[in-house]
Structure 1
Amino acid sequence: MSASKPQESGKVRIQPSLNKSEEEFVARRRNSVLQSLKKLQIQCRKDEVPNIALLASGGGQRAMVGLLGSLVQLQKADLLDCVLYLGGVSGSTWCMASLYQEPDWSTKLESVKDKIIQRLSGPAVSGRDLFAKLKKYYYGKDFFSLTDIWAVIVMTTFVKEIDEHTLTEQWDQQSKDPLPIYQVIDKQGKQSKERDPWFEITPHEAGYSLTGAFVDASSFGSQFQKGSKKNKQDEFDMLYLQALCGSALADEDEIKKLLLQKIKDLFQQNEKILEEMRKDLSGGILKTADKKAEELDVKRHTMDACKKWERINVWPFDTLRCIIECINKWIWGRNYNFLHNMTDERKINTALEVPAALLESETRDFADAGLLLNSPYLSVLRKERNIDLIISLDFSGGDPFMTVKDAAKMCRERNIPFPEVIIPSEDSEKPKDFYVFKGQNVPTVIHIPLFNVVNCGDKIEDWSNKYRTFQLPLSAEMITDLMEVAEQNITNNKAKVVEEIRAIIEQKRSRH
């Protein structure tokens, strides 16, 4: 049975419920999960089937490769077909985007894995193709931001391709895989501490997870007015989506340095010109209390730099001006706000408490969810999804428990059911490979740190230093070694995962 093709409505949906297409998917997938449980010698009725979400944290290419290795082993352990949702942020979404290129990838994962590794170990995208893609983004979209630049000159460095398929096109090929959930954050929502900065993108819908405000996935980026589509924008492609999800995790100065280096590689100009570019892009803007004066200063600085670059034939004037302005103003992921001017809708749905700022602004900026929480808990934990078990694969750098601790804190603040998270003090520096957090009327959370005392022994720090979040693309040998480490975490804990699934089914049974 093929996956249902998302139907475009052209309307904003504000409802505390799942999209109809997602409901249909869940019903089909639960039948498949029931059959996979039988393979694991787990007997249960259809109404006892647990809703299981597999979450993958960010962590650059370490997360991409780590997730791939984990999924391969989950498939071999007959656990992958038990998963209803596959959620990711940042680097883990790069893996997801690669997987869903292949129809029914979970049925042929070994060959899909080989194909991905071969590409990651292969040649870089040509400069000619990069230039062509950057121009296509610039001239083909209403808004051009650093996310477009990041997609072309940074994302392609890691994924070694320009994937111009769309999310809805990918999903139309699938029938036997978990539903992917890509999560980003609304930057303005994060800065103003609005109730719901969490923004999810599935093959069916894109929107604010907790508020319950969505548009068709193919309409994300289009202009809406009072809840109806006004001007259509072509659906974003997968290269852009990966950049939207996987950007801005490092600090601002480091990203600026990287962008400058990539621009240098792309333009291949002499050192004198590059030094001038470096000055133009990284300094000289006065910060003033007067907002208008600051904006005029940015504009003047931008115009001066563009005129100089145009004289040396580096790039067309209008594009240069836009690139420098994006860097100076630090604009990421700018898109139309589909909730703009939805005053009447808000009155009808007051219980949903749509933040006023979401209704007023014409545009919103979106960025890497790792800036707030480096795992997609908040989107997956929507009440309507009724998640019973979360398997959290943590590929983060630094504190191996930060994602689950932060998720617990954020859920408490929002009255979202979540188990208490208590970490033994001695485990902070030397984590084990399997943790379970559970309680009454809350989902069970399994947390698996990538590097731990079981698969790394006393060399956790060495592994962490070898595989940093922000580093050059991994070699073929490094990819193989990292895959093996990630696979061990699943192999060593299959029995424990099965035990937790059994326990959840028993809980469901006892309630009937």
Structure 2
Amino acid sequence: MGASSVTGDSPDPLSGWGHATDSVAALCATFTGFDFASVREKITGTIIPSWVRMLPGYVHKLQDEMSMAPWSLSWEIWEEAHNPEINPEITWEANVRISSELCAEEKGFLRNRRRHTSKALARYLGVPESEVHPEDVPVIGMCGSGGGLRALVAGAASFLSAAEDGLFDCVTYSAGVSGSCWLQTLYYSSIGQQSHAVILEHLKNRIGIHIASPPALLSLVGQAPTNKYLLSGFVEKLRGVPDADFGLVDIYGLALAARLLVTKNELRISSYDLKISNQRSYTDDGQQPLPIYTSVRHEIPDSAGKVESMARDARFTTKHFDWFQWFEWTPYEFFCEELDAGIPTWAVGRKWDGGNSIWRENGFALPELRIPLMMGIWGSAFCATLSHYYKEIRPIIKASGLGSLDTLMTGKNEELVKVHPVDPAVIPNFALGLRDKLPAACPESIHHATHLQLMDAGMANNLPIYPLLRPGRNVDVIIAFDASADVKGDNWIKVADGYARQRNITGWPMGAGWPPSSNTEEVTKQQLASAEEQPHQAKNPAKATTSSNKYLQPPHKELGYCTVWAGTKEERHEYMDDPPHARIDTAADDHHLASPHAGIAVIYFPFLANPQVPGVDPLQAEFMSTWNFVYNPEEIESVVALARANFGEGREQTRRTIRAVWERKRAGRLGREEGERELMRRWRTLRPAMSTTTSNASLTSTVDTGVTVTANIGRPVRPGSSDLKVNHVRITSCTNARPATTANGALPASAPPNRASPVPNPASQANIPNGKPTSPLVSTSNPMPNGGSPAPQTVTSKDPKAAAQAASDMRNIVRRKLTGYVGFANLPNQWHRKSVRKGFNFNVMVVGESGLGKSTLVNTLFNTSLYPPKEHKQPSLDFAPKTVSIQSISADIEENGVRLRLTVVDTPGFGDFVNNDDSWRPIVENIEQRFDAYLDAENKVNRMNIVDNRVHACVYFVQPTGHSLKPLDVEVMRRLHTKVNLIPVIAKADTLTDDEVANFKQRILSDIQHHNIQIFEGPRYELDDEETIAENNEIMSKVPFAVVGANTEVQTPEGRKVRGRRYPWGVIEVDNEEHCDFVKLRQMLIRTHMEELKEHTNNFLYENYRSDKLHSMGVAQDPSVFKEVNPAVKQEEERTLHEQKLAKMELEMKMVFQQKVQEKESKLRQSEEELYARHREMKEQLDRQRVELEEKKGRIESGRPVEEKGGRKKGGFSLRG
């Protein structure tokens, strides 16, 4: 793309850079001139470190290279920003998603992650994998605190300890603040290689030099290849969003990236690591936990009126009424829970309006905001308010004797809390123009601000607990590694209580955290004041009880290296205090975790000094300061040793906690399944009398109206569903006869539905090969009395008398000739109109190794571009996922008024690994999941809108080796042929000669026959004409199809434009049957056999899977249950029994309720008496103290000694003068 195509849509580059650097220089000059008289140097050094004031000079030195002159570095970066091959997201349409639910990608991640965590949990707990059901696996969230490099190093060591113990493999979510976000960035990159041990070695090589060291920083940003690697995001932001401020936070992120995202060998860097959305390659298949990055936006109300109206919101501080809005990044979405809105992560950095991204003048969007810019946002603790800064320097001012200045600043605290000396970084506001769609509680400023000012989330809470409590994530256990500067004083666990109250989150352990000190004068005064107020509170028994309990609770124990709290899900009303939490100190306390009402378990690891690592104290060691950016290898080793020792102190308690939560969930699931089985047993006793020998439990009867009706009654309920399946009726044939019954009065069992044959053939259903139904057998014996029409087949039975009676009854079902026009011959036309109106759907899966042209062939088959542009990845540096991923692409296409919903299920990564033994597993699991979803939908009460997502055909691509099927092909096809219609194709057949193709086909068919693999073959019907039979035979003779795919048109030597490929020796035409089998493959898939593929999937493959699934779940069919049973009488008996049980249960519930009410009243009376007794005792004590004080006052005023000689005797005063 030329220079002219990317210029003219943004301001002059030189002026843009000048404005950016001048702003930074002016900002730093403001701080260096910050004068507080004699303490200026101390205060300035505390607020702004010296290295910050040096950064603007470095920026000026880069202006020559960043001048945007043709072929300069910035010009080259800006050119690549508009290249879809490098940044494919610039062509993708993005919209704001407004919903409180998780995005679809994260829901898919949770399903995939559960497969891995179930195995990891079995290893961690030392139990067999067969005992760990995926539904029982606790959802574990592991989070690291903020704290700069201290949090980065300590977090890496803590996570490494968890990984070595097997705990990290059980984690579903990983959340971070500040330095922990940097840790996650390294972990999900080619630098960290998903190993915390590798990260620690990388840190030893990189953080021994200050992030703002001029020689090191300038050498990286001034020479290739690191200059483009580091500066690309800044050029894209400055040129693409010229109205966004470019400030200190952006330069800080550049310095961080230069230290942390550059390896010792600078040639190993990969630009693939600079986008958060690329991290999905590690999470899509569930191999790794989902990382959550956090930041906050400081909302400061403008007017007092708005403040008063929002004062009840728990997010506002009681002093200033300002609050922080939390924003989170995942590889899938950038989201704000307060707004209930988010955008795709790859769209962060674009401008927005009305929920849609704004395209640039050149037709492209901006690339995704790069990680160096966001590293600055995540760690921008220096963007705090002046109030926060003053809290840090207040001891210096007091020590300097400036009491008047301290009084002045304290009085201006409400103004200081609204001022940020350093402006936070900004990104475009995606909520702009969505006033009518966002929640009404959203602040007014969010609707006017063009950009979001984001900063370090540690301003609100230095532990990223809030994102883990988001609805839908359903976290059961939170493991928090707290490496904050003052873990005890800040007490971040306790801060989360307000968030839990405001969001009405059930299960959070309210009151957890560091215990308050109970020996202070302020606490004593509060206790006395509460005692004075308690007589008034006693008028409300509920409040009196809770107040008394809180007052009399035992003193808190200090926290150790590992502390566990368990919340509760018990109902809480407005007039009640917070539900009590249970602190788990010993194994005897584990019953709190096993309770059915147990809520979230919090495992807290504070970064404390440990005697096992002498000489290392996070509170005393200078190198562990948040503002220290230099760690030598010895200091890193000391931090690692301390983190390992602390984790070792809580290793077994953590394992006990995880085991208790797993056992609680396991017991709950087993209880639910037992209840469902009991429900099914009762439901079977209520079904009408019928034979249940078939998998569909179908009942066939013939009535006088001439219509044979098959009723499928009472299909079993699948575990996990509380819905019962309703009865439905299906018309199968038209006859005139009496009801057919067996000798004992029961109706005969109907045969299972046949495969696509127009006339049912029960005898041939049992052994139908894959896709080849046999023709119906027509008996020539026993002609009907009417003559010419054969009699139906005889019903067989073990009882000869019953069989004879059934055969006699069926001989009475006769066929009649019509004497005039009736009209049911028009039924096919009715079906045609209905089908055209509803449309069709078709789901096809493509399986094959990369590079075989799967996407090209699909696009060629349907004459459309279904696949989005492929991402550009550097082959030598990018790291592909380790397992096969499943991706679905759906599109609605229309041809001549007929609509088709086409879904293509792709399998990227198949066969691309060194070890492909389990490559078939994700594919089979996906097919079974689709079967399970359809089975679950069938078992619901409302089945009007069942969506068929089952795979109807699997096109398997065979590599054109010319020899035979590879072992991988054989294994995968053996696993798939019983669950999906297999259609093998030879990919890229233009690489083989005609003879080689013919020989290769024979070898493939021989291998398929040898391994008993059933591939789809077109059905043959008795009524087909010769032309149809010949066409089907010709199609099947081409299996496996040798195909060539091409989306482009080429010109033949004759001048025709055709779809194909041009070679030096000629042109391969895709639609020429003499060149390849593409036309025959298209005929089978689309033109002639699409409905056959769907019918065979539904009637044979799905039914077999369904039958096996229900049998494995213990759902057995017992035909003896309903023999000689009157359904009406049985139902009445069941109803009467049920009413008796309900009456008994009602009586028992009344008795239990009365007993509980009496116990509660007794406790309330006892508590009230204790409360009054306590009040009287304290009042008497205060009266005695008042008398003593008055006596002492009198002695002092009279000049007598306060204490009489000889001291005061116990119980009174001495009488000696």
TM-score (structure 1 length as normaliser): 0.75
Mapping of 1:97-496 within 5 angstroms?
Answer: 97-102=185-190, 105-106=193-194, 108-121=195-208, 125-130=216-221, 136=235, 139-142=238-241, 143=244, 144-153=246-255, 156=258, 165-174=274-283, 175=285, 176-188=287-299, 193=316, 197-231=325-359, 232-249=365-382, 330-346=422-438, 350=439, 353-400=441-488, 402-417=491-506, 418-420=508-510, 421=512, 423-424=514-515, 431-441=559-569, 442-453=599-610, 460=617, 463-496=620-653
Instruction: Output one character per residue of 1:239-280: Cα deviation in whole Å (capped at 9) or x when no partner.
Output: 112111001247668999xxxxxxxxxxxxxxxxxxxxxxxx
Q: Offset at 1:403?
A: 1.2
Q: Which SS does the other structure have where 1:443 is aligned?
A: strand
Q: Point out the more displaced range, 96-105 or 213-222.
A: 96-105
- For residues 329 and 492 of structure 1, the distance between their equivalents in structure 2, rounded to whole angstroms, comes to 42
Instruction: Output one character per residue of 1:377-406: Cα deviation in whole Å (capped at 9) or x when no partner.
Output: 111210111010000000101133611011
Aligned to 1:498: 655
Is the Cα contact below 8 Å between 1:218 and 1:235 reproduced in 2?
Answer: yes
AA paired with 1:495? E
Q: Offset at 1:54?
A: 0.2
Instruction: Output one character per residue of 1:320-353: Cα deviation in whole Å (capped at 9) or x when no partner.
Output: xxxxxxx99732111211010113423xxx5x85
AA paired with 2:565? F
- Are residues 78 and 190 of structure 1, via their aligned partners in 2, closer, same or farther at CA, if it must alter by over 3 Å? farther
Q: Please point out which of 23, 32, 51 is paired with 2:107.
A: 23
Q: Offset at 1:18?
A: 0.8
Is the Cα contact below 8 Å between 1:14 and 1:214 reproduced in 2?
Answer: yes
Is the Cα contact below 8 Å between 1:430 and 1:453 reproduced in 2?
Answer: no
- Are residues 140 and 385 of structure 1, via their aligned partners in 2, closer, same or farther at CA, if it must alter by over 3 Å? same
Q: Point out the more displaced range, 194-203 or 32-41.
A: 194-203
Report which of the two structures shows the higher radius of gyration computed on alpha carbons.
2
User: 5+ residue gaps in structure 2?
Assistant: 1-87, 264-268, 308-315, 317-321, 360-364, 390-418, 518-554, 570-598, 673-1217
Q: Offset at 1:71?
A: 1.5
Is the Cα contact below 8 Å between 1:12 and 1:215 reproduced in 2?
Answer: yes
Q: Point out the more displaced range, 188-197 or 433-442.
A: 188-197
AA paired with 1:220? V
Aligned to 1:277: none
Q: Offset at 1:99?
A: 1.2
Q: Which SS does the other structure have where 2:334 is aligned?
A: strand
Is the Cα contact below 8 Å between 2:147 and 2:626 reproduced in 1?
Answer: yes
- Are residues 455 and 227 of structure 1, via their aligned partners in 2, closer, same or farther at CA, if it must alter by over 3 Å? farther
Is the Cα contact below 8 Å between 1:18 and 1:384 reproduced in 2?
Answer: yes
Is the Cα contact below 8 Å between 1:85 and 1:178 reproduced in 2?
Answer: yes
Q: Which SS does the other structure have where 2:567 is aligned?
A: coil
Is the Cα contact below 8 Å between 1:121 and 1:476 reproduced in 2?
Answer: yes
Is the Cα contact below 8 Å between 1:223 and 1:229 reproduced in 2?
Answer: yes
- For residues 20 and 492 of structure 1, the distance between their equivalents in structure 2, rounded to whole angstroms, comes to 39
Aligned to 1:53: 141
- For residues 482 and 24 of structure 1, the distance between their equivalents in structure 2, rounded to whole angstroms, comes to 37
Q: Which SS does the other structure have where 1:470 is aligned?
A: coil
- For residues 413 and 198 of structure 1, the distance between their equivalents in structure 2, rounded to whole angstroms, comes to 14
Is the Cα contact below 8 Å between 2:207 and 2:629 reproduced in 1?
Answer: no
- Are residues 238 and 424 of structure 1, via their aligned partners in 2, closer, same or farther at CA, if it must alter by over 3 Å? same
- For residues 143 and 639 of structure 2, the distance between their equivalents in structure 1, rounded to whole angstroms, comes to 19
Ranked by relative contact order (alpha carbons within 8 Å, sequence separation 6 or more), the top structure is 1
Aligned to 1:294: none
User: 5+ residue gaps in structure 1?
Assistant: 257-326
Q: Which SS does the other structure have where 2:201 is aligned?
A: helix
Q: Which SS does the other structure have where 1:478 is aligned?
A: helix
Aligned to 1:86: 174
- Are residues 126 and 240 of structure 1, via their aligned partners in 2, closer, same or farther at CA, if it must alter by over 3 Å? same
- For residues 207 and 373 of structure 2, the distance between their equivalents in structure 1, rounded to whole angstroms, comes to 18
- Are residues 503 and 454 of structure 1, via their aligned partners in 2, closer, same or farther at CA, if it must alter by over 3 Å? farther
TM-score (structure 2 length as normaliser): 0.33
AA paired with 2:424? W
Q: Offset at 1:455?
A: 5.0
- For residues 388 and 367 of structure 2, the distance between their equivalents in structure 1, rounded to whole angstroms, comes to 28
- For residues 221 and 385 of structure 2, the distance between their equivalents in structure 1, rounded to whole angstroms, comes to 24
- For residues 196 and 9 of structure 1, the distance between their equivalents in structure 2, rounded to whole angstroms, comes to 30
AA paired with 2:333? E
- For residues 472 and 85 of structure 1, the distance between their equivalents in structure 2, rounded to whole angstroms, comes to 28
- Are residues 118 and 28 of structure 1, via their aligned partners in 2, closer, same or farther at CA, if it must alter by over 3 Å? same
AA paired with 1:146? L
- Are residues 22 and 331 of structure 1, via their aligned partners in 2, closer, same or farther at CA, if it must alter by over 3 Å? same
Q: Point out the more displaced range, 244-253 or 53-62.
A: 244-253
Is the Cα contact below 8 Å between 1:391 and 1:446 reproduced in 2?
Answer: yes
Instruction: Output one character per residue of 1:182-241: Cα deviation in whole Å (capped at 9) or x when no partner.
Output: 000012379985787010011100020343210001112211110011143321222112
Is the Cα contact below 8 Å between 2:207 and 2:259 reproduced in 1?
Answer: no
Is the Cα contact below 8 Å between 1:103 and 1:173 reproduced in 2?
Answer: no
RMSD: 3.5
Q: Offset at 1:432?
A: 1.5
- Are residues 8 and 112 of structure 1, via their aligned partners in 2, closer, same or farther at CA, if it must alter by over 3 Å? farther
- Are residues 45 and 157 of structure 1, via their aligned partners in 2, closer, same or farther at CA, if it must alter by over 3 Å? closer
Q: Which SS does the other structure have where 1:439 is aligned?
A: strand
Quick check: 1:37 aligned with 2:121?
yes
AA paired with 1:24? G
- For residues 256 and 122 of structure 2, the distance between their equivalents in structure 1, rounded to whole angstroms, comes to 44
- For residues 356 and 189 of structure 1, the distance between their equivalents in structure 2, rounded to whole angstroms, comes to 10
Is the Cα contact below 8 Å between 1:86 and 1:180 reproduced in 2?
Answer: yes
Aligned residues: 433
Instruction: Output one character per residue of 1:63-114: Cα deviation in whole Å (capped at 9) or x when no partner.
Output: 00011111211111011100001100111111111111138944x5434442
AA paired with 1:169? N
Q: Offset at 1:471?
A: 1.6
Instruction: Output one character per residue of 1:333-375: Cα deviation in whole Å (capped at 9) or x when no partner.
Output: 11211010113423xxx5x854443233222200000111111
Instruction: Output one character per residue of 1:121-177: Cα deviation in whole Å (capped at 9) or x when no partner.
Output: 469643154466566366444122332122124664566679851111233255521
Aligned to 1:324: none
| Larger proportion of helix | 1
- For residues 451 and 563 of structure 2, the distance between their equivalents in structure 1, rounded to whole angstroms, comes to 41
- For residues 82 and 50 of structure 1, the distance between their equivalents in structure 2, rounded to whole angstroms, comes to 8
AA paired with 2:202? K
Is the Cα contact below 8 Å between 1:94 and 1:159 reproduced in 2?
Answer: no
- Are residues 189 and 27 of structure 1, via their aligned partners in 2, closer, same or farther at CA, if it must alter by over 3 Å? farther
Q: Which SS does the other structure have where 1:385 is aligned?
A: coil
Q: Point out the more displaced range, 487-496 or 89-98.
A: 487-496
Is the Cα contact below 8 Å between 2:115 and 2:134 reproduced in 1?
Answer: yes
